[in-house]
Amino acid sequence: MKRWLYRILATLALAALFHVLTVMAFPRAVMVALAWKAKDQNLSTNVFYHQPRVTAESRTVIRPSPDLLYSACAYDVSKAPLRFSAAVPDTYWSLSFFASNTDNFFVINDREVKGNSVDVVLIGPGMPYKNPGNARVVFSPTSRGVAIIRILITDENKMEDLAAIQKQASCTPLSGGF
């Protein structure tokens, strides 16, 4: 009987250990894999990369939707805040920030944006800052992460216009006064 009790306790302890490791380590491993992939492709941090429309052959985004345009920026706010600026089309649009553990900590979409553009300043953990004026200030829980813009393609005839709007998005380090 004792033998079974030890086996059950050992199994429960291993299950708990693997659960905790998975919950804590897996999200960070995803971000490390993305960083390696970016390094292999000579991609820089703090720059938006605008993906062409997703097809069955293109799988740079995990589980991509063919009716969305994606732009991604691997950010690093350890040295300076970043300004994210983008034009907002008259279709669904969103800007999402993900921390280094893949937690989504901020989202803004076309319904929340007043006007046809958005300006967001991302501040790193513990970083001093001054109010940048009209920009929305967002605090990142980690120094590194990913920003993603999604644009819904509602009409094939507007594809060229939406791609032009997509390419207007920028992610630039702020200097002077911060």
Residue 177 pLDDT greater than 50, yes or no: no
Query: Model confidence at 120, in pLDDT bands (50, 70, 90)?
Result: very high
pLDDT digits (tens, 9 = 90+) for 146-174: 999 999 999 999 999 999 999 999 999 98
Contacts of 76 (CB under 8 A, 6+ apart): 45, 46, 143, 144
What is the mean pLDDT of the segment spanning 94-114?
93
Q: Across all residues in the chain, what is the average pLDDT?
A: 83
pTM (2 decimals)? 0.76
Residue-wise pLDDT tens digits, 19-53: 777 766 665 665 656 555 655 555 678 888 888 88
